[in-house]
Chain A
Amino acid sequence: QKEVEQNSGPLSVPEGAIASLNCTYSDRGSQSFFWYRQYSGKSPELIMFIYSNGDKEDGRFTAQLNKASQYVSLLIRDSQPSDSATYLCAVNGAAGGTSYGKLTFGQGTILTVHP
């Protein structure tokens, strides 16, 4: 059973602070990793994806991937109240494997940014 684990939170940070969200995965062959944001009652909305070890930055968001540790994280700088949502980590199966193309989601981390 391929698993994706996230701390469910809630994670509460003050406005302007850095929010750090973490995710671990069990399938060592996984090759692509996604962070989605989900507001209550809405669908997952892509924030960013990462394929390679290291950091990837997009505006206020930075994804970090460490395949050796099977760990992916998302940093949100200058957090805003509008960032308050559930953040979902999703992992794609290994290319060529039967799970390729299928996203396995973590349970999500609830983030609250308070003014």
Chain B
Amino acid sequence: EPEVTQTPSHQVTQMGQEVILRCVPISNHLYFYWYRQILGQKVEFLVSFYNNEISEKSEIFDDQFSVERPDGSNFTLKIRSTKLEDSAMYFCASRTSGGAETQYFGPGTRLLVL
């Protein structure tokens, strides 16, 4: 069964450093999402992406964040200058077009900013 994959599974970085989180959505899916979950808190929407552009972004997704689909398979989230409060689990999700709205989540990347 096709799955969303994410790399790395864990990342530790120093405050102020740039990180890139990578995702490979399910191959026939057209809509892509990033969510994050701070430990003990709810899953929060960051950004949605369709047709090579951002569809919607949340207040969390400020100028320090960017997304890109550099090729036909990868979908990346970049944090330019990490802060302590960026420490969280980051989930990529994807869905197909049409009436099926179900989003399938990847296993996540646990980011720790020191």
Question: Which residues of chain A have a CB within 8 Å of any CB of chain B?
Answer: 32, 34, 36, 42-46, 49, 88, 90, 92, 98-99, 101-108
**With known contacts A32-B101, A108-B42, A43–B48 Cβ distance under 8 A:** no
Residues of B contacting A99 in the complex (Cβ-Cβ under 8 angstroms): 56
**With known contacts A98-B56, A99-B56, A107-B42, A44–B105 Cβ distance under 8 A:** yes
Contact with A along B78-114 (1 / 0, CB 8 A): 0000000000010101010000011111111000000
Residues of A contacting B50 in the complex (Cβ-Cβ under 8 angstroms): 101
**With known contacts A43-B91, A44-B43, A98-B56, A103–B103 Cβ distance under 8 A:** yes
Question: Which residues of chain B have a CB within 8 Å of any CB of chain A?
Answer: 31, 33, 35, 41-45, 48, 50, 55-56, 89, 91, 93, 95, 101-108
Closest to B43 in A: A105
Query: Contact: B102 with A105, CB < 8 Å?
Result: no
Residues of A contacting B43 in the complex (Cβ-Cβ under 8 angstroms): 44, 88, 90, 103, 105
Question: Is chain B's binding surface mostly helix, strand, loop or mixed?
Answer: strand
Query: Contact: B56 with A105, CB < 8 Å?
Result: no
Instruction: Give the complex CA separation of A101 and B33 in angstroms.
Output: 9
> 18 other contacts beyond A43-B105, A44-B91, A98-B56, with CB at 8 A cut-off?
A32-B101, A43-B89, A43-B91, A44-B105, A45-B105, A88-B42, A92-B101, A101-B50, A101-B95, A102-B33, A102-B56, A103-B45, A103-B103, A104-B45, A105-B42, A105-B44, A106-B42, A108-B42
Query: Contact: B101 with A101, CB < 8 Å?
Result: yes
- The smallest beta-carbon distance between B12 and chain A, in angstroms, is 16
Instruction: Give the complex CA separation of A88 and B103 in angstroms.
Output: 13
Instruction: Give the complex CA separation of A49 and B104 in angstroms.
Output: 12
Instruction: Give the complex CA separation of A14 and B42 in angstroms.
Output: 26
Residues of B contacting A45 in the complex (Cβ-Cβ under 8 angstroms): 105
Instruction: Give the complex CA separation of A102 and B108 in angstroms.
Output: 18
Instruction: Give the complex CA separation of A42 and B95 in angstroms.
Output: 19
